[in-house]
Amino acid sequence: MDPDTIEDEAPGKTAMRGDPTSDSTTVPEDAQSLWNELLGLIYDRFRLAALETRLAGESLVSMIMAGVMVAFLLSSAWLGLMAAAVLELIGNGIVASSAILLAVAFNLLLSLFLCRVMRRKSRYLHFPATLRSLQPRPPGRRNAQKS
């Protein structure tokens, strides 16, 4: 006898496992069950996304707060460094007002240099190589590259 066959109470009748006629559920019930499972999966995915979004938001706030604190501490350190430089210049015989003006001039020159660096680097924010690669090539260039 086949191991996948099941003896039915009625003599001479056997049913195969997985046979749709032997199941007590109907197709609409199976469809409803699948639909409920799908809704459960969707709910779980959205809940996971919501929890991760919340965690990401909290992390972002913490990072911004830490960044502001670091900026304040670095600004304080820079001011202390400039004060020490001004005091050193005064100790070397330069008038206090001239030493302060030298520190201000140094800060302005450094700011101009950094603005120039930012301006040069800002062009890469537009993804120039990616945009060039997405533009269609003129027909003349296609034939020249094939040869």
111: buried, middle or exposed (CB in 10 Å: 19+, 13-18, 0-12)? exposed
Residue 9 forms part of a structural domain: no
Over residues 97-142, the pLDDT tens digits come to 999 999 999 999 999 999 999 999 998 888 888 888 888 888 776 6
In a domain, 133, yes or no: no
- Distance, in Å, from the CA atom of 22 to the CA atom of 5, rounded to the nearest integer, reads 12
Domain membership of residue 112 (yes or no) is yes
Range of the domain at 73: 21-128
Question: Which amino acid, 4?
Answer: D
- pTM of full prediction above 0.75: no
Residue 2 lies in a domain: no
> Token pair of 42, please?
């969707």
Give the dihedral of Cα atoms 77, 82, 86, 89; nearest 10 deg: 110
The pLDDT score that the predictor gives to residue 7 is 53
Nearest to 96 by CA among 86, 83, 81: 86
- For residue 72, tell me if it sits in a domain: yes
**pLDDT tens sequence across 1-49:** 555 555 555 555 554 555 555 556 688 899 999 999 999 999 999 999 9
Residue 147 counted as domain residue: no
Q: What is the pLDDT of residues 47-78, one digit of tens each?
A: 999 999 999 999 999 999 999 999 999 999 99
Number of domains present in the structure of the chain: 1
